[in-house]
């Protein structure tokens, strides 16, 4: 029998799971240490302001977004799209005001989603929290995503060995790359060692301070852009909703919302130091979202690559 108390159970479970993981990561870098990450961008290649959009861009974004409605939406999304002509001027003003002022709406609804259909639906740990954001927030996110993604691609800041969340990339491209490399190693008479890494609650445990530092120091975001992302990340909260029932308000102190437009891209940027460490230690790798595959080529009686892997893990 569903009730508000069941929603509260989910909210408490999701929060406690994240808190327990963060407490267990005793070796994670402190805020002060992260400030000294060496910038990889050129000083002239920075993004300090968003561009205002016009009604044409707004219409394209609204019509291409999925018509899913959030509990916090005043109007159903399908109806919102139908009366867009009446709302367009005010909506355009709201979107551009967000871009120019560096502020973002901070409420969302979380829907528990069973990880696999064959799992026991009475066990809370079999669910993951999927964000259902207000439609206007999704529009603003899409505008920001388009401008940020264009900046990152034009400056080559995205990891070439990340197949998640990128056009023309998939699990298939990641698999082809890894299998091809391992076969080449085999043809050269070498043995391959493959290590598969999967981060638990990866999106939900992203440290906001560390992410903001990486946005500044690794890809050159500044000014109103970094202010906007600070507003996007900090001071947020959510309800857990099941049908007509909802939980009490729960604050978010970390994480990027699963199911949001920006979360995958932000997570990819959060993980950039991992690729730098891999390359520094000459470790072959490929990632798909939060799944990372590390593989080594060993010659007979030569185990030095394992030392490199150990050094990589230490870092």
Reported as a single tens digit per residue, the pLDDT across 254-296 is 888 877 899 999 999 999 988 888 888 888 899 888 888 988 8
**Across 221-245, average pLDDT:** 87
Which range is least confidently modeled, 25-29, 118-122, 126-130?
25-29
Pairing between strand 236-242 and 107-114? parallel
In the block, which residue shows the tokens 């990889």?
A: 40
Percent of residues, the chain, with pLDDT higher than 90: 29
- Cβ neighbours of 129 (radius 10 Å): 24
Has residue 33 got a pLDDT over 90? no
pTM score above 0.85: no
Has residue 32 got a pLDDT over 50? no
Task: Measure the CA–CA gap between 118 and 126, rounded to whole angstroms.
Answer: 10
**Across 301-306, average pLDDT:** 80
Name the pLDDT band for 70 (thresholds 50, 70, 90): low
Nearest of 206, 194, 218, 193 to residue 289 by alpha carbon: 206
Reported as a single tens digit per residue, the pLDDT across 152-162 is 999 989 888 88
Which range is least confidently modeled, 21-30, 43-52, 172-181?
21-30
Name the pLDDT band for 34 (thresholds 50, 70, 90): very low
């Amino acid at each position: 029998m569903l009730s508000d108390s069941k929603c509260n159970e989910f909210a408490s479970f999701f929060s406690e799971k994240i808190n327990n993981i963060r407490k267990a990561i005793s070796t994670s870098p402190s805020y002060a240490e992260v400030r000294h990450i060496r910038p990889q961008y050129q000083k002239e290649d920075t993004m300090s302001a968003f561009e205002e959009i016009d009604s044409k861009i707004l219409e394209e974004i609204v019509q291409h977004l999925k018509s899913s409605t959030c509990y916090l939406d005043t109007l159903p999304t399908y109806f919102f799209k139908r009366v867009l002509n009446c709302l367009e001027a005010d909506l355009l003003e709201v979107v551009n005001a967000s871009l120019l002022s560096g502020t973002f709406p901070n409420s969302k609804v979380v829907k528990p989603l069973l990880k696999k259909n064959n799992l026991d639906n009475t066990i809370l740990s079999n669910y993951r929290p999927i964000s259902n954001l207000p439609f206007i927030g999704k529009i603003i996110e899409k505008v920001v995503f388009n401008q940020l993604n264009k900046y990152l691609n034009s400056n080559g800041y995205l990891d070439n060995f990340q197949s998640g969340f990128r056009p023309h990339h998939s699990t298939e491209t990641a698999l082809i790359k890894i299998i091809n490399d391992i076969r080449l190693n085999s043809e050269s008479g070498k043995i391959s060692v493959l290590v598969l890494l999967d981060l638990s609650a990866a999106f939900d445990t992203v440290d906001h301070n560390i992410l903001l530092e990486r946005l500044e120091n690794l890809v050159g975001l500044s000014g109103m852009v970094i202010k906007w992302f600070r507003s996007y990340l900090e001071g947020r909260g959510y309800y857990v909703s099941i049908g007509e029932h909802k939980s009490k308000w729960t604050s978010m102190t970390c994480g990027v919302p699963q199911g949001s437009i920006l979360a995958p891209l932000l997570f990819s940027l959060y993980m950039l130091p991992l690729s730098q460490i891999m390359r520094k230690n000459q470790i072959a790798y490929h990632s798909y979202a939060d799944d990372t595959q590390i593989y080594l080529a060993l010659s007979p009686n030569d185990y030095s690559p394992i030392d490199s892997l150990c050094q990589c893990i230490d870092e």
